Chains A and B, each alone.
Chain A
Amino acid sequence: MKVAVLGKTLFSGVMSALLSECGHQVVWCNSFGADESALPYFQDESLQLLLQKQEKSGFLNCCDFQHLDFNQDVFFFSFNATEEQQAFQMLDTIRHACFAHPKLMINASTFGLHGTQRFQQLLPNDDWIYLPDIIQEGNALRSFTQATQLIVGCDHVDIQPKIKELLRPLFPRAQQYLFMPVLDAEFTKLSISGMLATRISYMNDLASVAEKLGIDIEQVRQGMAADNRIGSAYLFPGVGFGGENFSHDIRTLTHAVADSGVKNQLLEQVWDINEQQKELLFRKLWNYFRGDLKGKVIAIWGAAFKENTPSIQQSPVHAMLTALWAQGVTVKLHDPQAIANIEKVYGPREDLILCKDQYQAVEGAHALCLITAWKQYGSPDYPYLIKLMQHPLILDGRNLYDPTYVKTRGFNYIGVGR
């Protein structure tokens, strides 16, 4: 089939790669205007490799929106929440183009409840499907291909064969599809994010209690994970969840709940706990130094909202930087991939030193805060660390280290809920 993928998101990259690999003729429209810069580059190596391979093979072509050929069988739309206006402008252009209807139109953007319906109002004569974005950053291709069941929002039974045919090479069996009305699917997508966020905030809430009671939350976490009704995913206490889409989902869901008039405070609390959690290491520092942080140097390892991504959207690092700077602290920051993004947001400033080397960051520091669990932070050279630091204090925002071991190496250790 001839497929046009519109969007710069990770999902659009994944679909372009996978569909062209299956033999579909894919044109990936990933720049919206002629003035826009180069193609999106994903830090996901396997995805990047596959995209390059497909481009070479000729099954995948990239273009900007002005050069998009509207003679396609399928349109796949995957926009960020912030691109809503552009998305509607493009749809408006497509509406006025001359081609035969109906086409298969797939909305894969999360524009809240009724998002797909608003698209459909512009192009009412086409067959509309909602395919929720389930891509996990850092694990992009497999998070789609290994889904046990694809949730598909589809209001008419006769559209089902079209989407099945498109995805047949990836999902050949009928039971791999879970069809439901579009609105239900949109709500499901948000509810999944809400559930995961709730698990994290629940763990963080328990962690603060555990800390007061002298319990190590890590033991508790392992115990809970061993219960097969619970499982181990999204049970890690830490300095809070982030990520653009995930956070956006929670906000959208919270507003949807509030607008419905139902009195429900759970999601508000989930969000608030998480916002509090983002500052957790700051508060620990504040207590440790009795509110006297002026002039101190604090090292931070990790700026990305999670490992294996350069994204700093909604990352705890922002709350930390703002809080530390407000107290007159100089921050030395290291991250294997996210430094460029940090630079983009904050620009040059005297109280922010960006470091290429993780050990350079701790030089002269009064404390080291670990915010992102990048693998390379897992086993630091402790003797070297203690030599470099002005004061031996490690704040472990992801409970990455063994507290006893760190303490025997001469450090003061503060974790989350332990």
Chain B
Amino acid sequence: MLSHFNPNLDTGTVCQKLASNKEQLQSEHLRELFAADPERFNRYSIQFEQLLFDYSKHRINKNVLQGLIEWADAQNLRSWIGSLFSNQEINYTEQRAAMHWALRLPEQDQQHADLAADVHAQLERMYALVEQIHAGQRRGATGEVIQDVVNIGVGGSDLGPLMVTHALSDFKYQSAQPLNVHFVSTMDGSQLSELLHQLRPETTLFIISSKSFGTIDTLTNAQTVRLWLEKALGQHPYILKHHFIGVSTKPEKMTAWGIAPENQLLLWDWVGGRYSLWSCIGLPIALSIGIEGFKQLLAGAYAVDQHFQYQPFERNIPVLMGLLGAWNTNFLDIQTHAILPYDGRLKYFASYLQQLEMESNGKSIQRNGEKVQLDTCPIIWGEVGPNAQHAFYQLLHQGTQSVSCDFIAPVERYNSQQYTYADSAEALVEQHHLALSNCLAQSRLLAFGNEALDQTELASLPAYKQYEGNQPSSTLLLQELNPYSLGMLIALYEHKVFVQSVLWNINPFDQWGVEKGKEIANQLLPILNGEQTDLDGLDGSTQGLIKILLGKSNG
């Protein structure tokens, strides 16, 4: 079955068909689907380079899958993918293209030669800086070698680099002198206050990472560290020059702040913040895993870009991920989706996906201006699997909510001679096997329920010890977690999000829902600072809270 666009397909009809498919499937438990088809795993799993996607534990059959693909066709997904991989302004509410894919173009790309040249010009500048720091030749104002780099950013300028840096900690680049990379994001300064007293201003370099260079969280943190530096080293522009790097689309704003032109790394309006870790926003990543590692990360994502564009939908992993998610949300009425990596290094992956998915698809107005007909993005949440087993798995197995899950695990771990674990590799490999067996056990129990238990015991089990099962999940196995496979994994989710936005006919690239809060905060700040006393026009609750806050700060 090839996915040719069929002009006769109409979304309404397709969805009705899917709804009736759902009715038919309603009574069939996952264990029955497996019992009926010994080939189910082979039928519903895809191997793509270092990655295996198993979606056999979803509540689908052949008809459902066909219906879902027809839905994608009816929504013109093929042509939307074409628009994504072009300079069309598909982010129509901000009149911008969404070309994060261009950030991973190979340097010699023929199809988008100018774009690739632009992107690589900035990457090369970033690599030069990374090289200098790794060689121990980047110096602070006193000539001492930079040993700590602090990334100040929030949202996309924080989560992506933080998640990747943590995930690839085993691939840390061995620089000439020890180099530590830190992340600061919260506007209340709590991370900074803890960090600053451990650092020496002489040997610390700050990256001010803000796409707009206007994000208040980042700028206040930046201002605090600037004062901290100036207190120790004096107030001269040449001092700032040695301690601040800026990453932004706005060179003039960086210059006004005091970032020297040679320390300004640029990105473009056509990169969304949550899609920007592939650009110079990824500087902390390159500092951690080295230039070669960063290139591998880009290469992994590029491989997925190609896969997404050219694979038929039924063999296309991001398309299937998107369709299955929408099936669960819109037809099986599963309102939350859990991300469960069985690898401690993916600690921040769930929070990263929270931003990627919920900020992208948490929308309710269609591209035609009308309210959406279907539910859009579910609640995305999650935690490192083995730890979550002691927290919320109880609800997954025996609660009243339906939840779909993504299990993510590396096949091999502790397989290279990394200095950090070389001494206890054997014991650690066993721990990894323990984690893997737990990963499999949980997805099995979720899917099959009681059947996964010992049948002879089952008869005597009280109801509270029984498991319903029938909870759908995907399993993503990476041959190993490395820069390349992580690049693949992230890009898969990026494109999954796009697929769903097309199904729901929404714009995944804006975030108007986070703008207004910032504005209102700006109105309230003068009141808390005592510059303004007029509380009229505020609601009663806010007035009451402000009075308490002011009373506290006055007395």
Residues on A facing B (Cβ under 8 Å): 279, 282-287, 290-292, 322-323, 326-327
Contacts and interface: CB of A to CB of B under 8 A. Distances in A.
B143 A287 contact: yes
B98 interface: no
Contacts of B137: 322-323, 326-327
B238 A290 contact: yes
A150 to B, nearest CB: 40
B241 A291 contact: yes
Interface in B217-247: 236, 238, 241-242
B139 A286 contact: yes
Given A291-B238, A291-B241, A292-B238, A326 B135 contact: yes
A282 B238 contact: no
Interface string B238-259: 1001100000000000000000
Interface of A is mostly: helix
Contacts of B141: 291
A293 B236 CA distance: 17
B16 interface: no
Contact of A291 (B132, B135, B145, B242): B242
Contacts of A287: 142-143
Contacts of A286: 139, 142-143
8 contacts: A283-B142, A283-B143, A283-B144, A286-B143, A287-B143, A291-B242, A323-B137, A327-B137
A292 B242 CA distance: 10
Contacts of B242: 291
Nearest to B177: A275
A273 to B, nearest CB: 13
A327 B132 CA distance: 10
A86 B132 CA distance: 37
Contacts of A279: 143, 145
Contacts of A284: 143
Nearest to B176: A322
Contact of B132 (A283, A285, A290, A326): A326
Nearest to B140: A291
Interface in B139-154: 139, 141-145
B289 to A, nearest CB: 22
B178 to A, nearest CB: 11
A348 B201 CA distance: 38
Contacts, number: 29
Chain B interface size, under 10 / 10 to 19 / 20 to 34 / 35 or more: 10 to 19
A282 B143 contact: yes
A327 B236 CA distance: 20
A380 B268 CA distance: 57
Given A290-B236, A291-B143, 8 more contacts: A282-B143, A284-B143, A291-B238, A291-B242, A322-B135, A322-B137, A323-B137, A327-B137
A291 B236 CA distance: 12
Contacts of A285: 143
Contacts of A282: 143
A175 to B, nearest CB: 48
A339 B238 CA distance: 36
A283 B236 CA distance: 18
Contacts of B132: 326
A291 B141 CA distance: 7
Nearest to B137: A326
A285 B242 CA distance: 15
A284 B139 CA distance: 13
A286 B145 CA distance: 12
A322 B138 CA distance: 12
A279 B176 CA distance: 14
B142 to A, nearest CB: 6
A282 B139 CA distance: 11
Contacts of B139: 286, 291
Contacts of A290: 236, 238
Contacts of A291: 139, 141, 143, 238, 241-242
The 10 A-B pairs of least Cβ separation, nearest first, read A283-B143, A286-B143, A326-B137, A290-B238, A291-B242, A291-B238, A287-B143, A287-B142, A282-B143, A286-B139
Nearest to B237: A290
A346 to B, nearest CB: 16
A285 B139 CA distance: 12
Contacts of A326: 132, 135, 137
A292 B238 CA distance: 9
A206 B137 CA distance: 26
Contacts of B143: 279, 282-287, 291
Contacts of A323: 137
Contacts of B238: 290-292
A68 B135 CA distance: 46
A282 B145 CA distance: 11
Nearest to A284: B143
Contacts of A292: 238
A286 B139 CA distance: 9
A284 B142 CA distance: 8
Nearest to A272: B177
Contacts of B144: 283
> Which of B132, B141, B143, B145 has the largest number of chain A CB atoms within 10 A?
B143
Interface string B68-90: 00000000000000000000000
A326 B242 CA distance: 14
Nearest to B135: A326
A316 to B, nearest CB: 15
Contacts of B135: 322, 326
A291 B260 CA distance: 13
A229 B357 CA distance: 73
A323 B142 CA distance: 14
B360 to A, nearest CB: 42
A251 B143 CA distance: 26
A323 B236 CA distance: 23
A283 B142 CA distance: 7
A203 to B, nearest CB: 20
Nearest to B236: A290
A292 B145 CA distance: 15
A287 B234 CA distance: 13
A291 B139 CA distance: 8
Interface in B107-143: 132, 135, 137, 139, 141-143
B480 to A, nearest CB: 31
A282 B144 CA distance: 9
A323 B144 CA distance: 11
B133 to A, nearest CB: 11
